[in-house]
Structure 1
Amino acid sequence: MLDLSEDRLYAALSNRDPAYEGRAFVGVTSTGIFCRLTCPARKPKPQNCRWFTSANAAQAAGFRPCKRCHPAGATAEGDADVTRLRAAIEADPARRWSEADVAEMGMDPSTIRRAFRRHFGMTFLQMAREARLREGARRMAGGDAVIEAQLDAGFDSASGFRQAFARLFGHPPAAMRGGGGLVADWIDTPLGGMIAVADDAALHLLEFTDRKALKGQLAKLSKDAGGRIGLGQSEMTRETARQLAGFFAGDRARFDLTLSPHGTTFQRRVWDALIRIPAGETRSYAEVAQAIGQPTATRAVARANATNGIAIVIPCHRVIGADGSLTGYAGGLWRKEKLIAVERGYASPESA
């Protein structure tokens, strides 16, 4: 556990220690402002510091959020360079980026590389490549030839485009166009792109495109389906996109989708318990274990939570540590912060 003594907290503030992100905040009595411990602003004197374990607690004590590190938002939003580069990807997803481009924008490429890995588990260039791959997938789903999709996605060779798809899906893009029982579609959300895999009857997978385990999940689905996964849309993927849009807009606390998660009997019991957690509430792993009638299975519950393949709809983000910490989230802690923030608006019965 992190040392939350005042001396250690002040040392973390002085060193801008990222280990305390989301776990501790400092209120500065001389300015009335509170910050992340990683804030680049000038450090206050120790006697002017008040310490808090959440942004809500700091605001309840009368402190205003800092305009430099944005402590009331998700962790990644506190890094202005990260926010700027993510916006650049969204504005031009087909652009082919290099570290020289990053340097030309006045940023240090090595610093940016570390920041993106810390927040998202991948580098900025990897994130940009995923965006180009997504653009190519959209063109192919619309019926474009592979080479046209490759050019639109900004890849400099058809082989590079095919290799990227093969790494993700387990087979090259041309083999996907014929389709099959399952189809994969890209869905844009405020938290980044997601891949939805479904047939006409049920949703089988919904995962962020940058999740490391995605390739293995897609390969397993393809094997379970007895062959390839096609690239395109079904009524279920379209309905998933509609309901996700409603969720993020604040109009839908619950999802009404037929689900077909791929897992063991125990995993499915855990996932069923997660769905029963109301939006706006959280549970510890121990509480989920109690809910399924196996109070000693806390670790197994944590593993099942981590292997959930239908993100958001099966709300594994609502499970937190026993001490109230967010703990791990396969889609990135910054997304978990955002999802919990979205669901605060669903906490009252009227919102459900």
Structure 2
Amino acid sequence: MLGLPDDQILYRALVARDAAYEGRALVGVTTTGIFCRLTCPARKPRPENCRWFPDADSAVAAGFRPCLRCSPTGTSALGEASVARLLPLLEADPGRRWSEADLRDLGLDPSTVRRGFQRQFGQSFLQMARAARLGQGLKTVSKGAAMIDAQLDAGFESASGFRQAFARLFGHKPCELRKDADLRADWIDSPLGGMIAIADQTHLHLLEFVDRKALPDGLRKLSGFVEGRIGLGRSAVTDRTEAWLDAFFNGRQGQVDVTVKLHGTPFQQRVWQQLQRIPAGETRSYAALAQEIDRPGAVRAVARANATNRLALIVPCHRVIGADGSMTGYAGGLWRKERLIQIEAQYRQGTEAATGDCGVDGQYRLV
């Protein structure tokens, strides 16, 4: 990522409790010996009493201790030894069927591993491994392979186990998704976990993290919107979405170039369209978002629309934070929200601010 900005910029971000610097900068207060996140709600120090650090290790090495109020060594900092050890193994062999016995064979305590992954990712390692295996099966089925081949690729011991896991994720049995369809569902890997993309030949209709609890319900609702015309596979839109995600996570492109179809009420679409106008590297509160759509009294309705967004990252609901600068609920997990804001901090000083224009049919393309 980028190096630290100058002290004046950082101090302004501290006073404003700017969440764009989450994971990118910390402040040490010389009068107390404590270091904090820039979003910490504590009373702000004078500029001359501030020292700036890129990470918690640097602050500790300089003799500062972490703030108990904002926990600057918390979720934003990957420091779990078990996480650092197991993630490369999962990435190298996503089809492996892991068990607690496997963890013990590696000299790891399953309970410690479970707590560490829950802190970092909001789910256990075994849950992440199961999702990765299911992803392998989805990729196989979407290419037209036989169900038994998909079952073996996914590492499930029985066909019924694979179908049950598939149905929990999609709300449909795998065979039902192999029929001819206008929309195609496929798996996309990302640094923050597997994602399901559903697209036709011209528009992206859904992009969700596979471990989101509301994903099956969202898929069923989308199926209702399009009268069940959802199958497996991908289109050029899926490929373009995957290419943009790769560029986004690698710091090459904050501006979205994927055309989307918004399925929702006119009010929901209005909220989602306004979300798309928030440039990468900036954040809004729910109240500010309500003001921007000329509905200042509809803060709760705006929050509900934010929560029902089915186009993760493309419609950037992660850019909405609490009025006090705190991290508020995110359906994909607060750990993802923190990392996304950290990633997008690099775009703030660039020229990739996204703007757009809304069409009358609810279609929206950032340009």
**For this structure pair, what is the TM-score category when the shorter chain's length is used for normalisation?**
0.7 to 0.9
User: Which one-letter code corresponds to 2:341 in the other structure?
Assistant: I
Which residues in structure 2 correspond to 1:136-215 (within 5 Å)?
A: 136-215=137-216
Q: Shift of the alpha carbon at 1:121? A: 3.2
Q: Shift of the alpha carbon at 1:191? A: 1.2
Q: Shift of the alpha carbon at 1:305? A: 1.0
Q: Distance in 1 between matches of 2:117 and 2:75?
A: 14
Partner residue, 1:133? 134
Q: Output one character per residue of 1:77-115: Cα deviation in whole Å (capped at 9) or x when no partner.
A: 132322322332111100001111122222221232233
SS at match of 2:187: strand
Partner residue, 1:99? 100
User: Which one-letter code corresponds to 2:148 in the other structure?
Assistant: I
Partner residue, 2:9? none
Partner residue, 1:216? 217
Partner residue, 1:337? 338
RMSD over aligned CA atoms reads 2.9
Mapped contact 2:104–2:110 kept (Cα < 8 A): yes
Q: Distance in 2 between matches of 1:87 and 1:69?
A: 28
Q: Shift of the alpha carbon at 1:162? A: 1.3
Mapped contact 1:74–1:338 kept (Cα < 8 A): no
SS at match of 2:261: coil
SS at match of 1:227: coil
Partner residue, 1:61? 51
Mapped contact 2:76–2:335 kept (Cα < 8 A): yes
Mapped contact 2:163–2:174 kept (Cα < 8 A): yes
Is residue 52 of structure 1 aligned with residue 42 of structure 2? no
Corresponding pairs, count: 314
SS at match of 1:185: strand
Q: Distance in 1 between matches of 2:272 and 2:39?
A: 30
Partner residue, 2:251? 250
User: Which one-letter code corresponds to 1:176 in the other structure?
Assistant: L
Q: Distance in 1 between matches of 2:299 and 2:27?
A: 33
User: Which one-letter code corresponds to 1:174 in the other structure?
Assistant: C
- Where structure 2 has 5 or more consecutive residues not aligned to the other structure, the ranges are 1-21, 61-71, 354-367
Mapped contact 1:69–1:77 kept (Cα < 8 A): no
Mapped contact 2:122–2:335 kept (Cα < 8 A): no
Q: Distance in 2 between matches of 1:88 and 1:68?
A: 29
Q: Shift of the alpha carbon at 1:145? A: 1.0
Partner residue, 2:3? none
Mapped contact 2:185–2:233 kept (Cα < 8 A): yes
Q: Distance in 2 between matches of 1:315 and 1:257?
A: 13
Partner residue, 2:87? 86
User: Which one-letter code corresponds to 1:139 in the other structure?
Assistant: T
User: Which one-letter code corresponds to 1:233 in the other structure?
Assistant: R
Q: Shift of the alpha carbon at 1:238? A: 1.2
Q: Distance in 1 between matches of 2:80 and 2:327?
A: 19
Mapped contact 1:119–1:332 kept (Cα < 8 A): no
Mapped contact 2:136–2:154 kept (Cα < 8 A): yes
Mapped contact 1:197–1:206 kept (Cα < 8 A): yes
Quickly say closer, same or farther: Cα 1:348–1:51, change in 2 above 3 A: closer
User: Which one-letter code corresponds to 2:37 in the other structure?
Assistant: T
User: Which one-letter code corresponds to 1:53 in the other structure?
Assistant: R
User: What is the TM-score normalised by the length of structure 1?
Assistant: 0.81
Q: Shift of the alpha carbon at 1:239? A: 1.2
